[in-house]
Amino acid sequence: MNKSILTFLLLTTIFVSSAFSNVFVPTADGFTIKDINVEKKSINNICQFLGYNSDQIHTYMDYEKLDGNVTAVIYKVFTETIICVITNDKITTLSKNQVNNYLVNFNLKDEYDSYDIESNLTNGINNRSLSSKFCSDIFSNSRIESNSTVIVPQIGYELQFSNGYLSKFNSSDGLNKWSKQWKESSPEFYNSYEQSARKHWGNEKSKILNEINIQADAYSRTPEASGNDYIKFHQSTEGTINFKMLMVAHYDELIKLREFKEINHGRYILLDEFKEGNYKRTTYQVNGAYFTFGEDGSLVNTYTTK
């Protein structure tokens, strides 16, 4: 089951059974039970009572310990700082050891891939919920000014603040969220694309990053991804798959000749060029696929070798 769907179902369960739950907040010595004065004790309502909005929190649940005493641990987003711990109603005291035992499988890096990070940041912008003050706290920076730009190594992004709130973000390493996922979860796969791009672009770092980003983005939209039926037409001699051209050839993605040449720099072959008056057709080959462009650079037709 998709992790986000499972989390939603579990959160719903907590909402329904919240009348039989206790909430503990951290203290210097451990945890103390907290009286939460809200009508409906959902996680969002609990955290709002404690001074946090839904974009400022991250809920961790160990799906293998659903029948235990601890139900969930709520963190400040992007951090290992605990806001509160939710337990069943039989627990009236809670020690650090009990919480640590529940968190034995917790790993901050596993909780946030690049997609999750960007989703959190985007929500923070849309809802004006990530203030420069709050971000100063969670990222352990010296005070982030109300109108400033800072690089946050913990998440790999450059954050821009306007009038005291997050207003924009950019990847600090030049990779988009899909490329970051490749690099984090499939480093060998990522490296193959980096080496292929470097072969054709040399030391032009921006071109290399752009090529990886284009391919990773196209990969995210490719039906069945690496199991797609059309992959055989788009595999290069280096072993990489040109997912962008796969989407163009078989799923009607639009592309202009200039973009085509940029994406396939050093790899396309001019097969045929016909011109008569204002009529012009130029056909190029990339791996096992052919692409024909018109006078204005628009794609006219695609076909494969088989």
Same domain, 104 and 130: no
* Confidence check: pLDDT of 82 > 90: yes
Same domain, 88 and 183: no
Place of tokens 């050839």: 249
Q: What is the pLDDT of residue 12?
A: 41
Print the domain residue range for 143. 114-171
CA dist., res. 183 & res. 176, Å (int) = 11
Single-letter code of the amino acid located at 31: F
Q: Which helix (H) or strand (E) holds 33?
A: strand 31-34
Q: Which of 26, 43, 14 is nearest to 95 (CA)?
A: 26
Q: What is the pLDDT of residue 20?
A: 56
* Confidence check: pLDDT of 249 > 70: yes
Q: What is the pLDDT of residue 17?
A: 45
Single-letter code of the amino acid located at 62: D
Q: What is the pLDDT of residue 306?
A: 67
Percent of the chain with pLDDT over 70: 93
Radius of gyration of the chain (CA): 25
The torsion angles phi and psi of 49, rounded to 5 degrees, stand at -60, -35
Confidence of residue 27 (pLDDT cuts 50, 70, 90): very high
CA dist., res. 124 & res. 70, Å (int) = 29
Same domain, 102 and 73: yes
Q: Is 163:146 a contact under the CB 8 Å cutoff?
A: yes
Number of neighbours of residue 28 by Cβ within 10 angstroms: 4
Among residues 111, 134, 160, the one where a domain terminates is 111
* b/e burial code for range 255-282 (CB count within 10 A of at least 16 → b): bebeebeebbeebbeeeeeeeeeeeeeb
Same domain, 155 and 267: no
- Count of the separate structural domains present in the chain: 3
Q: What is the pLDDT of residue 94?
A: 95
Confidence of residue 256 (pLDDT cuts 50, 70, 90): very high
Among residues 156, 171, 186, the one where a domain terminates is 171
Among residues 64, 96, 111, the one where a domain terminates is 111
Same domain, 32 and 57: yes
Q: Is 25:31 a contact under the CB 8 Å cutoff?
A: yes
Same domain, 7 and 126: no
Same domain, 161 and 146: yes
Same domain, 153 and 74: no
Same domain, 299 and 195: yes
Extract the tokens encoding 67.
């029948």
Mean pLDDT estimate for the chain: 91
Q: Which of 152, 150, 219, 207 is nearest to 183 (CA)?
A: 219
Extract the tokens encoding 4.
């986000």
Q: What is the pLDDT of residue 41?
A: 82
Same domain, 251 and 279: yes
Place of tokens 């794609």: 299
* Confidence check: pLDDT of 4 > 50: no
* Confidence check: pLDDT of 91 > 70: yes
Q: Which of 7-11, 172-176, 183-187, 244-248 has the highest mean pLDDT?
A: 244-248
CA dist., res. 164 & res. 136, Å (int) = 11
The torsion angles phi and psi of 93, rounded to 5 degrees, stand at -135, 150
Same domain, 183 and 223: yes
- The predicted model scores a pTM of 0.79
* Strands across the sheet containing 299-304: 269-276, 279-286, 289-293, 299-304
Check residues 107 and 9 and name the one with the higher pLDDT: 107
Same domain, 181 and 284: yes
Confidence of residue 125 (pLDDT cuts 50, 70, 90): very high
CA dist., res. 208 & res. 228, Å (int) = 25
Confidence of residue 258 (pLDDT cuts 50, 70, 90): very high
Q: What is the pLDDT of residue 84?
A: 97
